[in-house]
Amino acid sequence: MLKFRLGLFLTVFCTAVIAFVLQYQILKLQDELVKFENLKKIEENIINEDVEDVDDVVVIYNRVPKTGSTSFVGVAYDLCKKNNFHVIHVNITANNHRLSLPNQYKLVNNITKWSDMKPALYHGHFAYLDFTKFSKHKPMYINIIRKPLDRLVSYYYFLRYGDDFRPHLVRRKHGDTMTFDECVSKSQPDCDPNNMWLQIPFFCGHTANCLKPGNKWALQEAKKNLINNYLLVGVTEDIESFINILELTIPRLFIGAMDYFNHSNKSNLRKTAHKEAPTEETVKKIQNSVVWQMENELYEFALEQFNFVKKLSLGEKSQRFFFEKIRPKSS
């Protein structure tokens, strides 16, 4: 009799435990189901918002001359039809890098309201323009920066020998065979270190002080804009990573860009026809100038930031985020 009661007790107890566990699992599954449904609703809302947002996206590439910009823009032009977006060149009279105040307003207004062209990538050789100054929606800025002396040397020989992009176009210094080293030794204007004062003004903007070579405020303003107002600033020697990060960040425009860049001739679309590396003596002389030191400071600043973004974006460990602990629960 005792064994029977003990067996009955154990049976009832085990049944109760099993029932409790099952009930707990059912409640847990119900909670997970509610969480899943909530997440699904959130994702649907995000997707719906993204559909509107991505088709309204505007990217501005105020490209610095002789930094590899033609190669990058070539990729964008070849992808725009497939990815269904527009690429638009902003051509300013006489290659002026600055716009008058009325034209600043008109450009901002046109880009903001030209809905038929969205999504779009605008590109051109012009200094940073603050859209919020005109109470307009801020676009996403991108750019590429280059070592200042490398950029100056490349531009020096480009004006004399042209490039393989448009080999038959005669440049304004055509026929001048003076090397960069000879130019520096003779202190000629074409190789004046002040000619390197270009990348800082491009990031600084349309303020008068931006144009003054060696202006410390301009350097700080350029750094501030680079961090606060640019989505991404790459470097010439690593355009591949620049494109890779853009594809991951703005796939609406750049999906497939990395594969296309690697399997096309766009990786080095514009190469100066003839160029001679400067001697160590010439390099030291240029590096003694205040302008080189400041331009190089901006370059190193941009490089450090780019490598930081690159490590987070293209690192070995894939990073994800998700939503959880959403309250209140849906009824």
> Which amino acids are annotated catalytic?
123, 125
Q: Find, among 69, 71, 64, 66, the residue nearest to 268 by Cα.
A: 71
Write down the residue that tokens 């303003």 correspond to: 221
257 to 81, 120, 263, 264, 311: CA distances (angstroms): 13, 15, 10, 10, 20
Write down the residue that tokens 């001739």 correspond to: 265
Distance in angstroms (rounded) separating the CA atoms of residues 87 and 78: 10
Neighbours of 308 (CB within 10 A): 10
Any idea how long the chain is? 331
Q: Is 52 helix (H, G, I), strand (E, B) or coil?
A: helix
290 to 187, 219, 297: CA distances (angstroms): 16, 12, 11
Over the Cα atoms of the chain, what is R_g? Answer: 29
Q: Is 237 helix (H, G, I), strand (E, B) or coil?
A: helix
| Sequence-separated (6 or more) residues with CB below 8 Å from residue 256 | 79, 82, 83, 247
Distance in angstroms (rounded) separating the CA atoms of residues 18 and 48: 44
What sections of the chain are H helices per DSSP? 2-54, 69-83, 101-113, 148-161, 180-185, 199-204, 216-229, 239-249, 251-254, 257-262, 280-287, 290-314
Which two three-digit tokens encode residue 43? 């994702």
Which two three-digit tokens encode residue 33? 């189901």
Q: Find, among 65, 33, 231, 251, the residue nearest to 140 by Cα.
A: 231
Distance in angstroms (rounded) separating the CA atoms of residues 111 and 130: 13
